[in-house]
Amino acid sequence: MKYPCLLLLLFCFTSLSAQTKAPIPKVDGDWWRIATTPDLGQYNSDKVEPVDFGIWQAADGTWQVWSCIRGSKFPGSPRTTRFLYGWEGKALTDKNWAEQGIKWVAEPSLGETPGGMQAPYVFKEDGFYYLFYGDWQRICLAKGMDGKNFERVLGGNGQPDLFAEHGYVSKFRKEGDPLFESYARDPMVIKRGNTYYCYYTSHITDPINDGAAFCRTSVNMKDWSESVIVSHTPPYNYNSPHNYNSPRYSDECPHVVYLPEHDLYYLFVTQTYGKKSQTTVYASSNPMYFGIDDDSRKICTLPIAAPEVVLHEGQYYLVALTDELDGIRMARLKWE
């Protein structure tokens, strides 16, 4: 169901408590496109879609966006044909950023699933850029100095994985597939004090294949805590005649923003992509809990998918997929 923007904001506002009200994120003005479905040459197909992405500023001042490309003819496993493709903008507010080609592919010799590259996120600290990404099963780490080129950070097992979610037997399992699967993916990282918080999405065993947003913490980016479920969101119109999406994908692309002036953490999680896109936004004073089957911290829903929030020179920007899943768009963001 579609709502006019103003009515949607009024409809979905919920107070966090009797004393505190959380500002609501609102698109401020028109969207502009920064990336379009690329020409992949021999890997082209009519199903190619740029989906989950990461956006950051490189050391030379340019802006980078890398997106997971799905639906291509890229070689991989029978179930995966994904890689990361890049665009570059001279300024954050530029339109139609320049294509940079294929930027990141799986390294099967290091335990990564062929064609399994998923949602990147780049975190900058002390002059280094850390690239977190999914390899279809695990959350992995790479590192670089210029924000454009990265090398995998290998652990004691000689592989770049940081962790995977606890395995479960998938109802989608076919003969020859692993008995247990994890599908930890879509990482993003914030740091509070000396602690890193890595948010990601995966599935839970009860009910089987239901989706949730998880978090693990670390003080060194190497050793990570056990996982904690931070949100469990109902699927979007799952019980309606349209059946837009399943519970399996109800907490995709978790993205957390901290507003220091309100001492609140905002969690954005996506339920469905495309013309029926929906992202639910929660606000909480606790970065490890945004509600599990509990709407008390929900402040609104937005008709967008896989958003990231960028703060640059005092201005917030909202970046999201297009409704047609043929690119990436941006708009200014304000909090009301």
- What's the rounded mean pLDDT across residues 299-317? 97
Q: What's the pLDDT score for residue 238?
A: 64
Residue 294 — very low, low, confident or very high, per pLDDT cuts 50/70/90? confident
For residue 304, give the nearest of 85, 14, 52 by alpha carbon: 52
What pLDDT sits at residue 175?
Answer: 67
Domains of the chain with CATH codes: 5-335 (2.115.10.20)
Confidence of residue 128 (pLDDT cuts 50, 70, 90): very high
pLDDT at 8: 34
Cis, bond preceding 120 (omega within 30 deg of 0): no
Across the chain, what does the average pLDDT equal?
Answer: 90
What pLDDT is attached to residue 172?
Answer: 56
Which pLDDT does position 234 carry in this prediction? Answer: 85
Q: How far is CA 27 from CA 236, 291, 306, 333, in A?
A: 21, 24, 15, 5
Count Cβ atoms within 10 A of the Cβ of residue 6 and give its class: 0-12 exposed, 13-18 middle, 19 or more buried: exposed
What pLDDT score does 1 carry? 36
Q: 161-178: b or e for each residue (b if 16 or more CB lie within 10 Å)?
A: bbbbbeebebeeeeeeee
Model confidence at 89, pLDDT cuts 50, 70, 90, reads very high
pLDDT tens digits, 202-249: 988 777 778 999 999 999 999 999 999 999 998 877 666 655 677 888
Asked whether the predicted pLDDT for residue 307 surpasses 60, the reply is yes
pLDDT for the residue 270? 96
- Pick from 8-12, 71-75, 164-168, 271-275: least confident: 8-12
pLDDT at 170 over 70: no
- Give the pTM: 0.91
Q: Among 85, 79, 95, 78, which Cα is nearest to 44's? A: 85
In this prediction, residue 124 has a pLDDT band, given cuts at 50, 70 and 90, of: very high
Q: Which two tokens stand for residue 242?
A: 């349209």
Mean of pLDDT values over 116-127: 97
The predicted pLDDT at position 78 comes to 79
